[in-house]
Every structure is written in C-alpha cells, then in structure tokens.
Amino acid sequence: MNNYPLALKKLEEILDKNEILVDEPMRNHTYFEIGGTADIIAIPNTIEKLVSVIKLMKEEEVPLFLIGNGSNLLVKDGGIRGCVLKTEAIRRISCDGDRITAECGALLKDISDAALDASLAGFEFACGIPGTLGGAVFMNAGAYDGEMSFVLESARVLTRDLEVVTLKNGDLEMGYRTSAVKSNGYVVLEAVLKLTPGDSGAIKAKIDDLTERRNERQPLEYPSAGSTFKRPPGYYAGKLIQDAGLKGYQIGGAQVSEKHSGFVINRDHASAKDVIDLINHIKKTVDSKFGVELNTEILIVGEELRDIS
C-alpha cells in the first residue's frame, strides 16, 4: 500500500474490519476479472458510512474512486492508488404505491424483482443489466428500448462540496450514457423510480422474454464488461466490428466475442493491456474501413503496470 497509514487508521474508526480491504486485487471486484491491486477498498454498508468515508478521504487528500459492483469497468494492470469505495453493500429497496426507492448499491435485477412483486411495470428493460442503481443513474443505463431517464423521478446525491441535495429528473440532464451526476462528479446516494401499475403475469412474461434474448445473444459464459462501445449515431457498433472482419479477433487473452461482436471478452486470462490493445485495434480498423469513430462505453481506470526490470 502507498503512504496512507493515517487515513487507514481513521477509516478503521468508521468501518468494521470486514468492510476494509488492503492491497486487494481489483480482478476480484470486476466482471472482467481483470485489474491490478488497489491500495484500499472500503465497502460501507450504510449511506451514512459512505458519506463519512468520502469526507475522510477528501480531508486526508487520498485519491478516491467510486464503483458499484464493477460490471462496466476495466482496471489497468497497475491497479488503483488511493481508496476504492464500493457501494454494493448499500442496497435497501422499498416500495410505496407506484414508486420504488432504492439505495445506490441495489442491483438492478433486485429492483426489477421488487417491481414484479409489486405488479409495477416499466423497469423490465433493466432486468438483465448487471449493475447497481448508482451506476445506472450515473450513465443513464438502458437496454431493449428502455433507459433510466424514463422511470427516474428523483435522485438524492452528494455534491463535490459534500452537500446532500435531491435532484428531479429534469435537473439530472440524462442523455445517452451520461447525466449531470457524471458530468458534475456527484455521488448517487439513493433514487426514486416512478413506475406504472400493471399485470404481474405480463410483467413476468416480458422479463422472461428479455432474459432469453440476452442469454441467446450475449457471451455471458465469459468475463466481460458488457457492451464495449457506445452506439455510434446511425450505426450499431457490433455490426461495424463484424463487417470489419474482426469477429473472433484476439490479442493475448482478449477476444472479440464470436457470439456478439460488440463485446470484448476475457477469453483466456487476459491482461488489461490485452483488452486495451484490442480496443484500440478495433477502433483503428473500423475508422479505416468505414470512417466511423467508436467510443468506449466501458470505463477504463487505473495505472499502467510499471516495468521495474
């Protein structure tokens, strides 16, 4: 671990021992199963603890990086300096009429299940997105013609100035894979979703259909971070990659999925460098063949592995 002993000591006054990991490989905390060591990983189980950790790291000038469950993340081989703050243990969900309130670490699948139990429609699109509510608001996650902006009524966030404020949907500036949370560096604490009363049988049928379509079309048998690239205007990234002859193309242990070309997968113990080199090759090839620029949807963070030879 780098030189953060004082911060770690103070952190131990806020969190229980089982909520703190030191010198922990990030490959254990991402869906890609890739990533070097993080100096500290803090996993608070309440919003109050989460806010306290953020305040502490700011006071101690320790770099802080927030993640949900690592489903949309590639961590470089050199790892992450400072403190990684995971929200996955902050996951309470409650239902009141046609509204569901969920904390930042609640899994979208669990919220989808809660909506089904309450016979509320409108959140079926998220049943197969393997992320948390906080991350979904951050990037306005979406799938199968649905997205968070369609159902999000409000979000309670922590600002850069450490103020807790509630923002309505219109204030959140939700766009394609972006939001005011992302652009302003806010932290989602919890959010309220407004859904529509419906028939539980019809809701379940739609969830089952979307689940089947996802299982058929996506390479869920291999570690990945989901769709690697954003959808370029007027195109589909997967089709461009396939038409460029890159389906199955491999660099090291990273491969363009043979099942869906829009996914880069960890086929065989890939390093982050393998994945990044493959992403760069895909972008260069697609641009050369079709004049279309691809931008990554996955978030790439951390440090390069330093050569100490």
pLDDT digits (tens, 9 = 90+) for 238-264: 999 999 999 999 999 999 999 999 999
Q: How confident is the model at residue 305 (pLDDT cuts 50, 70, 90)?
A: confident
pLDDT of residue 307: 63
Q: Over 70: is that where the pLDDT of 309 sits?
A: no
pLDDT digits (tens, 9 = 90+) for 36-59: 999 999 999 999 999 999 999 999
pLDDT digits (tens, 9 = 90+) for 215-244: 999 999 999 999 999 999 999 999 999 999
227 is catalytic: yes
The answer to whether 281 touches 249, Cβ cutoff 8 Å, is yes
Taking the C-alpha atoms of residue 182 and residue 176, their distance in angstroms, rounded to an integer, is 12
Q: Over 80: is that where the pLDDT of 93 sits?
A: yes
pLDDT digits (tens, 9 = 90+) for 193-203: 999 999 999 99
What is the mean predicted confidence (pLDDT) over 73-101? 97
297 is catalytic: yes
Indicate the average pLDDT of the chain.
96
Taking the C-alpha atoms of residue 203 and residue 124, their distance in angstroms, rounded to an integer, is 7
pLDDT of residue 283: 98
Query: Which residue is catalytic, options 24, 88, 147, 297?
Result: 297
pLDDT of residue 284: 98
Give pTM, 2 decimals.
0.93
Q: How confident is the model at residue 306 (pLDDT cuts 50, 70, 90)?
A: confident
The answer to whether 149 touches 169, Cβ cutoff 8 Å, is yes
pLDDT of residue 4: 86
Query: Which residue is catalytic, options 52, 179, 224, 227?
Result: 227
**Domains of the chain, first to last:** 5-86 (3.30.43.10), 93-216 (3.30.465.10), 220-301 (3.90.78.10)
pLDDT of residue 196: 98
Amino acid (one-letter) located at 10: K
* Residue 175 neighbours by CB distance under 10 Å: 14
What is the mean predicted confidence (pLDDT) over 94-110? 98
Q: What is the CA radius of gyration of the chain?
A: 20
Q: Over 60: is that where the pLDDT of 143 sits?
A: yes
For the chain, what percent of residues have pLDDT higher than 90? 95
Query: Which residue is catalytic, options 177, 179, 190, 224?
Result: 177
pLDDT of residue 1: 55
Alpha carbon dihedral 259, 262, 268, 272, in 10-degree steps, equals: -170
* CB neighbour burial string for 260-299, b if at least 16 within 10 angstroms, e if fewer: bbbbbbbbeebbbbbbbebbeebbebbeeeeebebebbbb
* 3-state SS assignment for residue 275: helix
